[in-house]
Structure formats: C-alpha cells, structure tokens
Amino acid sequence: MSCDFECLSCDAANYKLMEKARNEKIETVWDRAEAMQPQCGFGEMGLCCTNCAMGPCRIVKVSEDGPKKGICGADEDTIASRNLARSIAAGSSAHSDHGRDIAHALYHAAKNPESGYKVKNHKKLISLAKEWGIDTENQDIKDIAANVAKTALEEFGKPFGNLRFIQRAPEDRKKIWNKMNVTPRAIDRDIVEVLHSTHIGCDADYRNIMTTAIRAALSDGWGGSMIGTELSDILFGVPEPHEIEANLGVLKEDEVNLVIHGHEPTLSEAILIAVNDPELIELAKKQGAEGINLVGMCCTGNEIAMRHGIPMAGNFFQQELAIVTGAVDAMVVDVQCIMPALSQVAKCYHTKLITTSPKAKIPGAIHMQFNEEEAIESAKRIVKEAVMNFKNRQGNIFIPQEKSKGFVGYSNEAIINALDKVTNSTAHPSGTVKPLADAIKSGVLRGAVAIVGCNNHKVLHDKGHVELAKELIKNDVLVVTTGCGAYACIKAGLMSKEARGLCGKGLATVCELVNIPPVLHMGSCVDISRILLLLSELAKFMNVDIKDLPVAGAAPEWMSEKALSIGTYVVASGVYTMLGVAPQVTGSDNLTRFLTNDVKDIYGGYFDIESDPKEAAKKIISCIEEKRKILSI
C-alpha cells in the first residue's frame, strides 16, 4: 500500500493488523483496490454491455468519436438501465432467498424434531397467522407454524394476487404503487421478469425497465426481507436491547475462537447451541483452551448479537484482518459478503475456513454442509473442527485490544416498549408510536435517518457511517442503523448511552427520557424491513404518507447489489436516500436524472449522491426541514 493506514480506515485496531499483514506479506482488500486502479471507466458509468455474445459492447462518452450504440442498437440509456435492473434483481434475490431459507427452517421446526429448531415467540407467530387468515383456534402451535411457513413459501411463486405484507403499507402508498403498476405480485415472478425483460431483444425503454426493477425491489423490502425478519423473530425470538462488545479485541488468546460470518441466522443459532455443548467445551479444554469463544462478523454478527449478546468482531472490511490476528481457529461462513480471498489469507495461518452452504463454496476452503433438517448435529460437527484446530496455532498471534461497548437489539417491539415508558397511560393507549410522533411534531426531534450498508474502498473505512451519524445526532436527528453501518457506529461509541453527550439538546433529552442511545441498532441488512414497518406505523399515526415524514435513508459506504435493491425499495417507499458512492449509471444522463429527480414526482423519494459525510448531513437536514415545513411543524 502506498498510503498511510489512517487514510484507509478510521479504526485503530485495523492499523495494527494492517501493519502485521504488511510485515507478513498478506494481501488485503486495500492492496487489491490499489492494484485495480484505474478502474474501468466504462464500467464506472454503466456503459458496458455483456448481455449477449455479440458483445461486449461499450458506449464512448468522453469523445465524439467512438460508438454511441451497441451492435444491437441499444443506446446508453438502455444499457445503463439494463445493467442497473439486473443488479437490483440480484440483490432482491439474495435477500429473498434468505427469507425463503428461514421459512423452510420454520417448517422444519414444526414438522421435524431432528432439526433442533423450536418456535420461540408464540405471540408473534399467532399474530402473523391471524394477519394472514390462518386458523389458530384450538390449533397446535406446531401446526400453526407449519401453515405460516407454507403460506410464506407460497409468496415466492403464487400465480395470482399481490404480496400479503403490502397491506401493511399506508393507503396512499399502496395507491401510488397500484397507479405505477409496481405493486409486488410474487417474489420469484417479479425477479424473473427483470431478467426476462432485460434479455437481448426485449425492453429498451429505460423508464419501463426501471419500473420492472422497482417492482422487484419492492418484492424484496415488503416481501423476501420482511419474511426473513418476521419469521426469524418467530423462530429465534424478538430482539431486545442489551449491551455487547464490538471490534477485533473480542477475540481471546486462551480460547478457541470461532468467527461466524455471513447472513443466515439458521446457521448461527445452531452454532450457538453447539458451542455451549458440555462435551465440546470439555474437548476444547483437552486441547489446551479455556473454552470456546464465539464471535460474529458482518450481518450474522448482527443477528446473534441482537438476540444473544454475542460480541460483534467486525464488519465487511475486517474479515481478512480477523484471520491476520493468527488467533482465529475457524471462520465459518454461509452466504453473502464473504470474500473469496479469505481462503488465501487462511492458508497463511492455521485458520480453517469452513463453507457451509451449497450456494457459496470457495476453492481452498473446507466444505461442511449445514443441513437444516439436522441443524444441531451439523453445527456440532463444524464446531468440533474448530476445537480440534486450536492445538495447531502458530506463534504469530496478535489480538488488538481495541473494543467498544454499545446497545443492540432495538426491534420495533423494543422501540414501542421504550416509548410506552413515556406514554401517559391514563390519557392514551400504550403500544403506539405517539411519543415519537409528538417529539417530531414539537421539534424536539427534527427527524430520523437510517444509516445502513456496507464498506467500500472508495470511502475511508467506517468514516462515512460515523461522521454522518455524528453530524445528524448533533442536529437533533435520531439515527437508526443496520448491517456494517451498525458496526462502525458501535465501534465509535455512538450506540452507548454516553453518546448522548454528542447530541443536540432535543435529542439528548429524548434519549434521557426514553433511556436509549442516539443511534439505535435495528439488526442486519434484511432487517431494514423493520424500518419500513416503523415508518409505516408512524405515517399512519400522523395520517400522512411515508413520503411526507421528516426522515431519510443513507448508505455512505454501499457496494453490493443488495444495497441497490434496498435503496430502490426505500426510494419507492417514499424516502429521500443519500448515497456516498455513485451507482454505475452516470453514463446515461436520462437514467441519472430519473433516479435523482424524476422519481421524486412519482414516488416522493429519490436518490442523492454526496461522498463527504458533512455535506451529506447538510443535504439530509435540508430535506428534513423541507418536509417539516410542508407539514407545518
């Protein structure tokens, strides 16, 4: 690397491990990003088409010379919109397939005692069953769970009608979706239609292509992701606030360190049970360890932190550095955001990289299939592999001491419970968002912003999340966060109650009264569906549409196709959304204008792009103030 570590990350733990990696000649994501420069200009602008074997075709924008159309005649608008739509469909499929797996796990919990899964939240199960019209009277809880699981699975491929969760949106929002013909139908159908319509020789109208893509994205947010979150809560429990530790300092030199990395709680919940198995703990001690230390990485870390208090080791850009400590005995992965480079890094140490999903195998890794039908036994075999590797540790161990504390687990239910503590129960019913609406109307809270998303080398690691959050809370804007953004915030101390000292007077008062930190952890990336539901409830209570609320979304360091799907369904739900990295669409002036301007008149939400977090905060606050003015509050 030609740059000082401070210009790559704002996490001190990373500096020490970057230095160790450099000394041990370990290549990391930052090395590869530097080697990749300059990156392809055609790709950056979305002007390269590989949709058929006549290509690749590329549109030349930087000079008058060169082709302005592909061999089939597709212009810059068609090519850029097709590329974007396919990425959105891929992102929607990733989240939604996650949701499908959770539905299968719920079914196994009901029908297959060998799975080891059990339904933990009967109240939420029965509530959802009633919402979906499933008979619960005198029914066995396992039968109700099986029927809910089957109904959820039918949402992926039902031949007629629309997704059930759409009914949770405000009426005005549903009217907009119906008018624009983007109301989601069946999850698989909406994703497949994007791939069909963007095939060679199909849709060439960029606005129509985006309409199809928006429907697929809404199938993610109000479909696949929402199924994933709701059924995870039913199966594994609704998250509640509690304090945890975060950053690579959570690894322990004298214990077997097992890092669980990926996205699906079906694996991490089973691993959690396995690491507490007395026989495996005793086996670990026979290998010379004091015990088994389970820690989480990326969204899997969010899942088990918010339900069980398991420490969060690090976000997307820290996965290689965890292995560089030399103290990780096994990194167990399932799907999404897993760098293929991990197997090369693991080879330089004793670490076993264990893949568990048929959807995500990595050359050089050990594959141990995780079977939901026998989840606990599968998990025990995986944990045993980690335990038996402890004795193979080499001498090059360094665990940075940096770690922070913060509160995680603010599900919608937990937020409502917190609000109930400041509700006048003699005058108003409990279980509503009234105190939140009152705080917004009075101006004590200017608004709320969701800071979500990934890490990207185009933004200094974690700085986009942390600096934006600091600017917003300083201006009395409540922040909620998920995914890698949550890691950045907890490491920076923003999810501690002491962070109230960084807030404006209004937000500090709210945090004191409700006993919350100014940045609320709401889970993993699929849990952005929680935020949709909270906005929906707030809009209904204030008798407005979501687009009228003084709220915004932000993805300062986004990089994945999932993030594109999230951003699209958030905008189509009526929310102004700030991106810290420009999408690969800027080669099409029409498409760029559509996303950053035209969609505002259609859906109320629209994209904005600003890489400087302080400037981004100014634009977001300006948008919030505009909404407040329209609402006369």
Q: Which residues belong to the annotated binding site for [4Fe-4S] cluster?
A: 40, 48-49, 52, 57, 72
Strand, helix or coil at 422? coil
Q: How far apart are CA 492 and CA 519, in angstroms?
A: 11
Beta strand 57-58 pairing with 48-49: antiparallel
Integer angstrom CA distances of residue 102 from 215, 376, 589: 22, 16, 40
Q: How far apart are CA 412 and CA 532, in angstroms?
A: 10
**What is the chain's percent helix, strand, coil content, to nearest 5?**
55, 10, 35
**Are 330 and 389 within 8 A, CB to CB?**
yes
**Are 129 and 147 within 8 A, CB to CB?**
yes
Q: How far apart are CA 207 and CA 214, in angstroms?
A: 10
**Are 302 and 266 within 8 A, CB to CB?**
no
Question: What one-letter code names the amino acid at 389?
Answer: N
Beta strand 256-261 pairing with 242-246: unpaired
Which tokens belong to 403? Answer: 């770690």
**Are 464 and 580 within 8 A, CB to CB?**
yes
Q: Would you list which residues are annotated within the binding site?
A: 40, 48-49, 52, 57, 72, 263, 299, 337, 454, 484, 525
Beta strand 576-579 pairing with 330-333: unpaired
Letter string b/e over residues 303-338, b meaning 16 or more CB atoms within 10 A of that residue's CB = bbbbbbebbbbbbbbbbbbbbbbbbbbbbbbbbbbb
Q: What is the maximum span of the chain, computed from C-alpha positions, in angstroms? A: 74
Q: Would you list which residues are annotated within the binding site for [Ni-4Fe-4S] cluster?
A: 263, 299, 337, 454, 484, 525
Element (H, E) at 578: strand 576-579
Instruction: Assign 3-class secondary structure to 465-520.
Output: HHHHHHHHHHCCEEEEECHHHHHHHHHCCCCCHHHHHHCCHHHHHHHHHHCCCCEE
